[in-house]
Amino acid sequence: MTAPQAACLQAALEIGYHLLDRGASLLAAVEQVIRVLEQSGLFNAGKGARRQLDGVRRMDASIMEGLSLRAGAVASIEGIVHPIAAARLVMEETHHVLLVGPMATAFARYFKLEGQQTGRLIRRLSYGAMLERKQLLRDRHGTVGAVARDRSGTVAAGASTGGIDRMLPGRVGDTPIIGCGVYADNQSGAVSMTGIGEGIIRIAAAKEICDRLALRQSPVAAAKAVLKKLVTRIDGAAGALVLAPNGRFAIRHVTPRMAAGWWDGNGTPTVGDQFQ
């Protein structure tokens, strides 16, 4: 993690906490934390989102709150800075949970969300050429996310991503899939995942962690168990932010590093990139 990334994480944590402390809604706090990271260009989300193999940024995001299990998500959205804002609008302005592709982009533009360039093809590639490039490029991944709890005990989770390297056009990972990339339920807890989405999807990681919390496992034990399953069953790679309704939490990962942090309002936020 670079010094600018650490400073950005610290600022995001401070903003989110102060919003809650001043009476803002839980969803507003989670959204704003993620917006700070999307805006920075320092992470694989928003302005820093990676491009798919045809040169276009297609991004995913989701948000969920645990009181009434409301959720909203977008997948393969293009040309906006804050996919997390679009996800929240899906939740609050429609009866749907997930919008995808050009219609998700049109939806975001209808609400006048801040735009950015989607990218352009330097040269037109055939599908065969893209598949060939897919095998040659180095695999990197990353997602920005947040979990939070308000004074009433309601929890929420959100995430936003530009995906992974070697993405075929139209690839969608775990982030916009409720129960995979995020989940929140006041009866169990809130989870936001990061990592290689194909593995996270195959075990519905966020929901399984929450199910274990509902069975009275601690956040640390629940995260460790599901991440161990991810590695042993399908050789996956991921990290998790886990928060129980009583305020206990865990930051765990089975990747070499995971830039993350937490703050309870005392002192300064704790930020690091290893939480083993």
Q: What is the pLDDT of residue 124?
A: 59
pTM equals 0.91
What is the three-class DSSP state of 139? coil
**Predicted pLDDT at 275:** 84
Q: Is 33 helix (H, G, I), strand (E, B) or coil?
A: helix
Query: How many CA atoms lie within 13 Å of 88's alpha carbon, on the beta-carbon side?
Result: 21
The pLDDT score that the predictor gives to residue 137 is: 44
Question: For 161-180, what is each residue's pLDDT tens digit?
Answer: 998 877 888 999 999 999 99
Q: What pLDDT does residue 136 have?
A: 46
The pLDDT, as a whole number, for residue 139 is 47
- Supply the residues annotated as catalytic: 143
pLDDT reading at 276 higher than 60: yes
Query: How confident is the model over 195-216, as pLDDT tens digits?
Result: 999 999 999 999 999 999 999 9
Exposed (0-12), middle (13-18) or buried (19+): which is 55, by Cβ within 10 Å? middle
> In angstroms, rounded to a whole number, what is the distance separating the alpha carbons of residues 249 and 271?
15
Domain positions in the chain:
3-118+127-256
pLDDT confidence bin for 184, thresholds 50/70/90: very high
- Report the CATH fold assignment for 3-118+127-256: Glutamine Phosphoribosylpyrophosphate, subunit 1, domain 1 (3.60.20)
Two tokens, residue 187:
């009866």
- Quick: pLDDT tens for 56-111: 899 999 999 999 999 999 999 999 999 999 999 999 999 999 999 999 999 999 99
* Whole-number pLDDT of residue 117: 72
Residue 119, pLDDT score: 59
**Residue corresponding to tokens 């807890």:** 189
> To which residue do tokens 């995906």 refer?
163
Residue-level pLDDT at 121: 54
Question: Do the Cβ atoms of 41 and 48 come closer than 8 Å?
Answer: yes
